[in-house]
């Protein structure tokens, strides 16, 4: 402290003012008030629920809850009597919220979340309500998504409503046989069917969902059949399905006759394929491209999604590590990116696995595979992810998402040299790639053994891509010529040469979308950017000039459409 003499006297010059804050003040005050509450001292209000009385201070209730602020602002009965009796509130929930009022902390469990959500909504304590919303989001699964959706709607939880609806739409094929779906109201079913984010791989699934729902309470629901079917594109259904329906469901015949005749007038089966494809855009999944090679041979961890509906490409969260020559597969709306190489010259193949959730746009690492691998086959079958072979490899594993563990399966009959690809037909997994004992193997998990299907040597050394549709396996690119396309009929065990693609490509991406075979990317003295799709019924290729996709040596899989 400095001093100076003014008018022959010593005067102290004080420093500038400084503010101090007691960081524990609010905690100390609340703790003191809570102590008084527990000892029932200076309490001026009583909350009653389920024959229990909770003593509180009005001033704290008013500060936290607009509900109590409105109640205690006027001379209402509760204000005059200094107590309020709740008839539809659980005592445990009310006590928990009062504890929050006096501490700023709350514990939410699966047993209490619904009553806490209801009570916090009634008392207009938004922070607690929001925490209940977020807690419920972490618990949504196939067994409870409809129930939580209803709870969210009941309490106007907009964020939770959107989350549940998005979950239902992207997992719809797995829900149509569940009791919760069958118990939905007509309006709820209609809401789902008309949603743009609804994902079904083929129209038959949406069609079957309506049948399941109506048949569950046939007498009272048949009246809704016509309106629900108006949201299904019946022209995309296989004729044999409708013929089977007429034989097995005679009570529906009259209703369907009227619907089908109307539908045919509005939508001819001879409508050009491009127009037909656009009518089912809301059912179309998107394609995610993960990792691979960028310009200058740089290995990437970036990921992009192609939306076929509007020909748009947009970025999503990147992989957690850079990798090339990986494989990707989709299961239950999640994408698994597995194995690969961290750089071109590394001989240690990756065992790591990442899983992508399109709802939260996030990749997370899960249990790694037992064996590192690259250029290998991957597919989803019976709720499991299978990985098969790979470069210099014959081992096979499957992953169970429920246990988060990988399990070893029987090896393929022979080791692959340059790699392989895999796809599912019926109850079997087919693996295509060049080995010393053949090019095509079949594995039936029920039998637990591999069979050699084709011992020939009629594919090139480079890895081709495969995709399955119905009873057929499609073999695309990689061969000589690189534009070659073949079909293997699993019933007759015979190959058929198909029209060649317009562009040759090695290591392309290929997948069935709707009723067409799409081919993306690949390599031919550089990344091939063209997109082509093959009409299975018309046996012809079409180039999509509206977009260029530059991606190769990465992983690609279908990802369901989700609500933004």
Q: What is the pLDDT of residues 91-104, one digit of tens each?
A: 999 999 999 999 99
Taking Cα atoms as reference points, which of 515, 533, 472 lies closest to residue 235? 515
What's the CATH number of domain 26-139, 3.40.720.10, 1.10.1370.30, 3.30.710.10, 1.10.10.10? 3.30.710.10
Q: Give the residue extent of every domain in the chain.
A: 26-139, 166-243, 286-559
Angle between helices 145-154 and 158-170 (to 10 degrees): 150
The tokens describing 233, both together, are 């594109």
Q: Does domain 286-559 have CATH number 2.120.10.80?
A: yes
Element at 331 (helix H, strand E): strand 327-331
Separation of alpha carbons 381 and 398, rounded Å: 9
How high is the pLDDT of residue 284? 64
Taking Cα atoms as reference points, which of 108, 79, 105, 71 lies closest to residue 93? 108
Residue that has been written with the tokens 């179309």 in this structure: 284
What's the CATH number of domain 166-243, 1.25.40.420, 3.30.300.10, 3.30.479.10, 3.10.580.10? 1.25.40.420
Per-residue pLDDT reduced to its tens digit, 270-323:
333 333 333 344 556 789 999 987 555 678 899 999 988 777 889 999 999 999
Q: Residues of the chain whose pLDDT is less than 50?
A: 1-6, 261-281, 563-564
Separation of alpha carbons 298 and 324, rounded Å: 10
Q: 352: which residues sit within 8 A by CB, 6+ positions away?
A: 321, 323, 338, 339, 365, 368, 369
How high is the pLDDT of residue 273? 33
- CA distances 105 to 98, 169, 210, Å, are 10, 35, 46
Do the beta carbons of residue 232 and residue 203 sit within 8 Å? yes
Separation of alpha carbons 338 and 327, rounded Å: 5
How high is the pLDDT of residue 201? 67
Separation of alpha carbons 510 and 532, rounded Å: 10
Is the CA virtual torsion 181, 186, 191, 194 positive or negative?
positive
How high is the pLDDT of residue 477? 82
3-state secondary structure (DSSP) of residue 42: coil
Kindly report whether the peptide bond that precedes residue 481 is cis, defined as omega within 30 degrees of 0: yes
Separation of alpha carbons 442 and 449, rounded Å: 8
């Amino acid at each position: 402290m400095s001093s100076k003499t003014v008018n022959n006297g010593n005067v102290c010059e004080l420093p500038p003012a400084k503010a101090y804050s007691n960081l524990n003040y609010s905690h100390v005050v609340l703790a003191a008030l809570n102590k008084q509450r527990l000892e029932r001292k200076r309490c001026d209000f009583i909350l009653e629920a389920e024959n229990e009385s909770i003593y509180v201070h009005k001033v704290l209730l008013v500060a936290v809850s607009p509900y109590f602020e409105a109640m205690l602002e006027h001379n209402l009965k509760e204000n005059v009597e200094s107590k309020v009796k709740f008839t539809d509130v659980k005592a445990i929930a009310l006590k928990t919220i009062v504890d929050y009022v006096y501490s700023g902390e709350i514990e939410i469990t699966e047993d209490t979340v619904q009553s806490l959500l209801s009570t916090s909504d009634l008392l207009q304590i938004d922070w607690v309500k929001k925490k209940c919303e977020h807690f419920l989001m972490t618990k949504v699964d196939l067994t409870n998504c409809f129930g939580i959706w209803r709870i969210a709607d009941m309490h106007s939880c907009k964020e939770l409503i959107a989350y549940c609806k998005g979950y239902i739409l992207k997992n719809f094929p797995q829900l149509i046989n569940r009791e919760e779906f069958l118990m939905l109201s007509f309006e709820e079913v209609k809401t789902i069917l008309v949603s743009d984010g609804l994902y079904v791989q083929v129209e038959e699934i949406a069609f079957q969902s309506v049948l399941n729902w109506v048949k569950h309470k046939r007498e009272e629901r048949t009246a809704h059949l016509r309106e629900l079917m108006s949201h299904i594109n019946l022209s995309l259904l296989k004729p044999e399905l409708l013929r089977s329906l007429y034989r097995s469901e005679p009570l529906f015949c009259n209703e369907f006759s009227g619907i089908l005749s109307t539908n045919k007038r509005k939508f001819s089966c001879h409508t050009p394929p491009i127009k037909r494809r656009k009518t089912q855009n809301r059912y179309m999944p998107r394609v995610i491209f993960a990792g691979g090679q960028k310009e200058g041979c740089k290995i990437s961890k970036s990921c992009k999604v192609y939306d076929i509906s509007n020909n748009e490409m947009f970025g999503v969260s990147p992989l957690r590590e850079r990798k090339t020559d990986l494989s990707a597969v989709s299961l239950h709306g999640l994408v698994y990116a597995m194995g690969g190489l961290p750089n071109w010259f590394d001989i240690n193949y990756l065992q790591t696995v990442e899983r992508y959730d399109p709802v939260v746009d996030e990749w997370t690492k899960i249990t790694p595979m037992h064996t590192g691998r690259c250029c290998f086959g991957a597919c989803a079958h019976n709720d499991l992810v299978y990985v098969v072979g790979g470069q210099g490899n014959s081992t096979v594993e499957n992953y169970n998402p429920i246990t988060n563990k990988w399990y070893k399966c029987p090896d393929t009959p022979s080791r692959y040299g340059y790699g392989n690809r895999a796809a599912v037909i019926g109850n079997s997994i087919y693996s295509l790639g060049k080995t010393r004992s053949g090019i095509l193997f079949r594995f039936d998990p029920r039998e637990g053994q591999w069979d050699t299907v084709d011992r020939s040597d009629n594919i090139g050394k480079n890895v081709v891509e495969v995709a399955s549709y119905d009873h057929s396996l499609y073999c695309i690119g990689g061969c000589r010529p690189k534009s070659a396309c073949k079909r293997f009929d699993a019933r007759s065990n015979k190959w058929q040469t198909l029209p060649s693609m317009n562009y040759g490509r090695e290591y392309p991406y290929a997948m069935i979308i709707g009723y067409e075979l799409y081919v993306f990317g690949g390599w031919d003295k550089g990344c091939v950017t063209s997109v082509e799709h093959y009409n299975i019924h018309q046996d012809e290729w079409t180039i999509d000039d509206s977009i260029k996709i530059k991606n190769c040596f990465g992983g690609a899989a279908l990802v369901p459409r989700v609500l933004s």
